[in-house]
Structure 1
Amino acid sequence: MKRVWFGAAAVAALSLSAFGASTSAQAHEQHACIDDACEMVSLLPDFAQIAAQTAGGGVATSLESPRYGAWGFDITGMDTTVKPGDDFYKFANGVWEARTEIPSDRARYGNFDKLAELSDARTKAIIEAAAADKAAAGEKAKVGAAYRAFMDEAGIEKLDAAPLKPWLDEVRKVKTKDEFTTMMGRSSTTPYASILGVGVSIDAKNPKAYAVMAGTSGLSLPDRDYYLDAKFADKKTAYLAYVQQMLTLGGWDKPAEHAKAIVDFETKLAEASWTRVERRDRDKTYNPANLAELQAMTPGYDWKRYLAAAELSGVDRIIVTTNTAFPKFAKIYADTPVDTLKAWQAFKVIDGAAPLLSKRFVDAAFAFRNKTLAGQPEQRPRWKRGVAQVNNMLGEAVGKDYVAAYFPASSKAKMESLVGDIRTVLKTRIDNLDWMGAETKVKAQDKLAKFTVKIGYPDHWRDYSALEIKDNDAYGNLIRAGAWDYRYDVARLNKPVDKTEWGMTPQTVNAYYNFANNEIVFPAAILQAPFFHPDADPAINYGGIGGVIGHEIGHGFDDQGRKSDGDGVLRDWWTAEDGAKFQVQADKLGAQYSAFEPFPGVHVNGKLTMGENIGDMAGLAFALDAYRVSLHGKPAPVLDGFTGDQRVYLGWAQVWRGKSREDALKQQIASDPHSPGYYRVNGTIRNQPGWYSAFDVKAGDTLYVAPADRVKIW
């Protein structure tokens, strides 16, 4: 499955082109999430999920689920010389961190990555079996053909740049802006890119229907800051060289001259682009317009022509996301010579295709996108990239076999019970909130009661019968899969929203909340240790998967999730007084996180990470309450000297064990709405009253926050 509904799941394309790059391979994903104005939020950060899906290394020695220690926690990874109140992350994980090296073909490594490695090994076995089965039919045959195509290094090497030729020839033939506008309109069904993209998504104010969305696009670096912020100047310089290199490899004329023009063009787009903080505001990114209004917003940009090329003729209602940027983008477009636009389009085609072409293209793309931008020293093995490619295109076809082999019914039943526990706890917490009035509480309870829960795998699987996959055309397979997926969405425009659909495959190690559907979703692959194990101490399970469940439920009540009601409708259902009180606490939390400084002069962005931080804080609080309720008044056992409450917090800290290379971490901080794992532990627990009592944290300890300054929202 390639449908990606939110930034953190853009792995379907990013796994092919590295961290955060907006390439033409990604253009096929952009139709579902425009400008980060998305209706879903995930547990994991972008680059962590990318690493999980793309990282290499040896094949896992076992396909069995992992175990941690005697009761679910790895005590050997603790550093008990560190006071819990000074650095709880180090206390729980310090020895693990000291003894763990990031593999050379990874930009990060941690417990999420270990599970993703297991998922890769399991799906590799499924995919390779399909590829070896000469009698395979239907979806199994497509899975096998897709893998064979990607793994055919000799055939791909022989083709070299040939797959690019028809697309670049078409770019060369463009003579006018109108022709170029038409080309950009085809960006969802071809390898071409667009500076103003369109796609189909759920209408946030009418979540029973789909709508056409439009937003700004066109950048090729991870974030606008990479063009504008002096601390990324070296990356921008390297990018200029990379653009020239790719144009040279693709046979484009005047590569040095055009590379400079391309970077200058994208820099202007970056200057006109909204920040990621602005783009996550769901009120500001909902701007319906008819075609005439959209045209008036962008003089000279022929939307009728563009929409016809995008197979959306007749559409007269479009939800514009970053609306104030549209006139600026239109002006930049009008002022940019056609030759520069053509060179930019050629670069986007080459860059997007590179990971599926011959070795000279693959190596060039890796050297810049993985090594320079993310600090990853070595390329991952080809089989890993092939598995990711197949999962991206045919994820639910693979997922069927994954679920049958690795997801027992008992896990689903246990998860349903845990979700019920967390919901019960939140119901009580809402009733007991001292800052929320009765009127808002009624509506909050209504929203909680209407949550939909999806566990393991979808009830209805995608039908890939119309998708053409060839066993000798790796690049063409990607293009056809993107076009098929986009047309699937377009065909649904006047149909009811499919509430059974999933935005992740079962083999994905992640979880998410969908605003418009008011649903929480937990793929099968995350329901393993360190999150959950049937034989683990319940406190560890509550701190692990319980915290994840609470996190996703918490998204329904974070600074953006709270804007939708129980039916998923984007509307203000709060009293003005309660909304103001919420914002005071949210601002306080944002200030706490913005004070974190992983590198000199590099701070966590508390406004960008606000929703995830609220989700973490709420999720851990819910998990502790649920664990206490599960004891039914009986005292918690003490295991290896740790009380039940202590083990809940240790379970949470163990989940976030992870190490990142410096460039990858800086990229995450600049571009991702998730705080680094270190702060998802230390930044969360310092606002939890139970943590202070569990570990006897006192004033004077480094992480101590005075009671009056602690944040409590849910």
Structure 2
Amino acid sequence: MIFHTRKILLSAGGAAALAFAAQAATAHEHDGLDATRAAQASFAAADTPQGAAASLESPRFGTWGFDMSGMDRSVKPGDDFYAFANGKWAERTEIPSDRTRFGNFDILAQLSENRVHAILQEAAAGRLDDRDAARIGAAFTAFMDEARVEKLDAKPIAGDLAKIRKVRTRDQFTALMGRANVSSVSSILPVYVTIDAKNPTRYAVGSTTAGLSLPDRDYYLLPAFAEKKAKYEAYVAQMLTMIGWPSPADNAKAVVAFETRLAEASWTRAERRDRDKTYTPMSPAELNAATPGFDWNRYLAAAGLPNVDRIVVATDSAYPKFAGIYAATPVETLKAWQAFRVADGAAPYLSKRFVDANFEFRNRTLMDQPEQRPRWKRAVAFTNGVIGESVGRVYVARYFPPESKAKMDELVANVRSAMQARIQKLHWMGPETKERALDKLAKFTVKIGYPEEWRDYSGLRLDPTDLYGNAIRSAAYEWRRDVDRLDQPVDKREWGMTPQTVNAYYNFANNEIVFPAAILQPPFFDPDADPAINYGGIGGVIGHEISHGFDDQGRKSDGDGVLRDWWTAEDNTKFQAQAARLGAQYSEFEPLPGVRLNGALSMGENIGDMGGLSLGYDAYLASLKGKPAPIVDGFTGQQRVFLGWAQVWRSKMRDEALRQQVVTGPHSPPYYRVNGTIRNLPGWYEAFQIQPGDKLYVAPADRVDIW
């Protein structure tokens, strides 16, 4: 995933969320958070005790890579495999008070956070030997200088608010929104630079609808979220009061009404997944005709794109509706909306009263998080956001041994071979489509650990005395970099995640799978663990990312990353029938009373999970080369693969965080990434002798078989 328009402001409604959404058409990430929440939550576990040294060592899981103490042997594997593998762990584990979730992803993220913290402390003290040491130290120091931030209070955004107050006409407001990528303001029709899905050797300007400050359109429209919406209006009024905006209560009501109308006109998240429908090239003249009253020439000039003649629109049918809402909304309401967005986005960089107000609504109200994260953790997230690859260069030198990369090369090759064998043997796919699928698989690019060439941040000024300025300058730097390469070929060496990120991804346009260094540790990957655990852990992750190239959206690009239909009509119909069955299965799951999963929204990730675990299992069996697998602590090799997968997904979530993930996230909650996946796989039934009458049992004729 290529974050070309990443903005560092952390508000849930800010441009960081937009950048992530914009790239959803080009990539899949493995874990279940969007970019903004990842920045806010930073996926960390409990703090180390006061005065204790933070651990910088990789965790260990049992004697052969699996923590048997976390199992609940009283549960039948066929009734609840997640609980069988993880039940005792769940009973004894509490979510830390500054977290909305906790599990094995979080354990590794805490480790990465601790390691990066040590690097940043060295940089701030002038002890780090790296070409960007001064910039790294400046970013961290500015965030940690709480006394200075407190003294400045709201002064850092005074200039932004003054510009909003000066607006008199709608055209002036349109031009102001055009500055969204280089300032703190927001836009309802933002533009970004991305890889062109139908010409993936070039970059293109894209645009989509935005403007919502709640996590999803459902929060505005469904009765289940009425209480949250009311508290949101109170939060808008609170922020407007804090910045001295006139008539805060009345303006807050008008702002929420404005956003509600935008929500009604917005596409659903499931609709925004369809890559065929989210690619509509338009000229500025065509956009002007589609959005009367919204001057695209003025808007693009303000964005630094005066000569652009083609914009790929992601949600075309919503544009006339947004234009109508924009034209009908009083300029004073638009100004109040913009002022709130500035304050909300900047709040993490302002004084404690702003930080606390933002946390109280964004984290406590929306996600049930009891306590704010310590400042140093927020500083780590911020520094990773503004100069992450330079931090990653130091991280890799210290914590990613060459032998780990070599072992991963071998595992990836084995899992890819398993996918090749599966495609060749598919009973539902015809020879013509098989040939093209095998061609695509052969053209996969694999990136492991870290980039071949590190980012150059020499043009980025980071000031140890200017936290808010650092955030704005970083956003502007990224945007200028994107605009400058619009006429350049796509840089295929670029990474969409830093090496210290605990995650992995597949990029449609580059047809590549990418595994940052930080995820290549136990329980995902352990060179000393039983091989079956590695195949169930990182093998399943590798298979998951490979499968994204062939999920309901990834399959729409060919081996060169071009968005086109390369399937026969018959095979396309067969695929869609199986995918629909899988979606129906997941839509029956109910993680909270009255809250069901959206199988259409999570379709790609569910296909990725099912394909990933299948490939990890096949690759493990192939690695045995016909020899019997050893029995370890009473478990066969086949059983250990599935235990390795289940262990990876150990996780607990607070109810409101879980509710938000169901509504907004493309991933199913971890519990269903285990139980929802294994019930379709014949190997699991064989390994654990699952029988009719077991709660997870699905009759063979009803099981989904895709990859």
Q: TM-score, normalised by structure 1?
A: 0.96
Q: CA deviation at 1:667?
A: 0.1
Counterpart pick for 1:39 among 26, 50, 55: 26
Partner-residue secondary structure (3-state), 1:232: helix
Q: What amino acid is aligned across from residue 4 of structure 1 in structure 2? A: F
The CA distance in 2 between the partners of 1:412 and 1:46, in whole Å, is: 26
Partner of 1:53: 42
Q: Deviations over 1:550-599 (max 9, x none)?
A: 00000000000000000000000000000000001000000000000011
Counterpart pick for 2:609 among 597, 600, 616: 616
Partner of 2:520: 527
Counterpart pick for 2:189 among 156, 174, 196: 196
User: Within 5 Å, which residues of 2 pair with 1:282-297?
Assistant: 282-297=275-290
The CA distance in 1 between the partners of 2:331 and 2:428, in whole Å, is: 58
With over 3 angstroms needed to count, the CA separation of the structure-2 counterparts of 1:616 and 1:429, relative to structure 1, is same
Partner-residue secondary structure (3-state), 1:276: coil
The CA distance in 2 between the partners of 1:342 and 1:291, in whole Å, is: 25
Partner of 1:685: 678
Q: What amino acid is aligned across from residue 250 of structure 2 in structure 1? A: E
User: Within 5 Å, which residues of 2 pair with 1:22-101?
Assistant: 22-23=13-14, 27=15, 30-31=18-19, 33-34=21-22, 37-46=24-33, 49=38, 53=42, 55=44, 57-59=46-48, 61-101=54-94
Partner of 1:466: 459
Q: What amino acid is aligned across from residue 356 of structure 1 in structure 2? A: Y
The CA distance in 1 between the partners of 2:92 and 2:166, in whole Å, is: 57
Q: CA deviation at 1:683?
A: 0.2
Partner of 2:126: 133
The CA distance in 1 between the partners of 2:545 and 2:342, in whole Å, is: 37
Counterpart pick for 2:172 among 169, 175, 179: 179
Q: Deviations over 1:469-494 (max 9, x none)?
A: 11111111001101100111111101
The CA distance in 2 between the partners of 1:135 and 1:75, in whole Å, is: 41
Instruction: Using the aligned pairs only, state the percent identity.
Output: 66
The CA distance in 2 between the partners of 1:344 and 1:674, in whole Å, is: 31
Partner of 2:3: 4
Aligned residues of 2:8 and 2:475 also touching (Cα < 8 A): no
The CA distance in 1 between the partners of 2:599 and 2:17, in whole Å, is: 27
Counterpart pick for 2:548 among 552, 555, 564: 555
Partner-residue secondary structure (3-state), 1:188: helix
The CA distance in 2 between the partners of 1:674 and 1:703, in whole Å, is: 20
Q: CA deviation at 1:52?
A: 5.9
Partner of 1:354: 347
The CA distance in 1 between the partners of 2:128 and 2:672, in whole Å, is: 51
Partner of 2:630: 637
With over 3 angstroms needed to count, the CA separation of the structure-2 counterparts of 1:31 and 1:81, relative to structure 1, is closer
Q: Deviations over 1:668-713 (max 9, x none)?
A: 0000000000000000000000000100100010000000000010
Counterpart pick for 2:442 among 428, 446, 449: 449
Aligned residues of 1:145 and 1:470 also touching (Cα < 8 A): yes
Q: What amino acid is aligned across from residue 46 of structure 2 in structure 1? A: G
Q: Deviations over 1:610-660 (max 9, x none)?
A: 000000000000000000010111100000000000000000000000000
- 510-519 or 287-296, which deviates more: 287-296
Aligned residues of 2:558 and 2:564 also touching (Cα < 8 A): yes
The CA distance in 2 between the partners of 1:137 and 1:68, in whole Å, is: 34
User: Within 5 Å, which residues of 2 pair with 1:276-315?
Assistant: 276-315=269-308
The CA distance in 1 between the partners of 2:178 and 2:599, in whole Å, is: 36
The CA distance in 1 between the partners of 2:65 and 2:137, in whole Å, is: 37
Q: Mind listing any 5+ residue stretches in structure 1 that lack a counterpart?
A: none
User: Within 5 Å, which residues of 2 pair with 1:219-618?
Assistant: 219-618=212-611
Q: Deviations over 1:396-432 (max 9, x none)?
A: 0100000000000000001010000011111111110
Aligned residues of 2:43 and 2:106 also touching (Cα < 8 A): no
Q: CA deviation at 1:64?
A: 1.0
Q: Deviations over 1:88-119 (max 9, x none)?
A: 00000000000000000000000000000000
Partner-residue secondary structure (3-state), 2:46: coil
Partner-residue secondary structure (3-state), 2:202: strand
Q: Deviations over 1:452-481 (max 9, x none)?
A: 000000001110010011111111100110
Q: TM-score, normalised by structure 2?
A: 0.97
Aligned residues of 1:32 and 1:200 also touching (Cα < 8 A): no
Partner-residue secondary structure (3-state), 2:239: helix
Aligned length: 701
- 261-270 or 293-302, which deviates more: 293-302
Partner-residue secondary structure (3-state), 2:182: coil
Q: CA deviation at 1:31?
A: 4.9
The CA distance in 2 between the partners of 1:136 and 1:600, in whole Å, is: 54
With over 3 angstroms needed to count, the CA separation of the structure-2 counterparts of 1:199 and 1:700, relative to structure 1, is same
The CA distance in 2 between the partners of 1:621 and 1:159, in whole Å, is: 55
With over 3 angstroms needed to count, the CA separation of the structure-2 counterparts of 1:54 and 1:154, relative to structure 1, is farther
Q: What amino acid is aligned across from residue 39 of structure 1 in structure 2? A: T
Q: Deviations over 1:361-408 (max 9, x none)?
A: 000000000000000000010000001100000000100000000000
Aligned residues of 1:455 and 1:524 also touching (Cα < 8 A): yes
Q: CA deviation at 1:290?
A: 1.2
Aligned residues of 1:609 and 1:673 also touching (Cα < 8 A): yes
Q: What amino acid is aligned across from residue 586 of structure 1 in structure 2? A: A
With over 3 angstroms needed to count, the CA separation of the structure-2 counterparts of 1:604 and 1:326, relative to structure 1, is same
Partner-residue secondary structure (3-state), 1:659: strand
Aligned residues of 1:3 and 1:485 also touching (Cα < 8 A): no
Aligned residues of 1:57 and 1:380 also touching (Cα < 8 A): no
Counterpart pick for 2:662 among 647, 658, 669: 669
Q: What amino acid is aligned across from residue 335 of structure 1 in structure 2? A: A
Aligned residues of 2:2 and 2:194 also touching (Cα < 8 A): no
Aligned residues of 1:89 and 1:653 also touching (Cα < 8 A): yes
Q: Deviations over 1:53-81 (max 9, x none)?
A: 25463247421111100100000000010
Partner of 2:147: 154
Q: Mind listing any 5+ residue stretches in structure 2 that lack a counterpart?
A: none
Partner-residue secondary structure (3-state), 2:537: helix
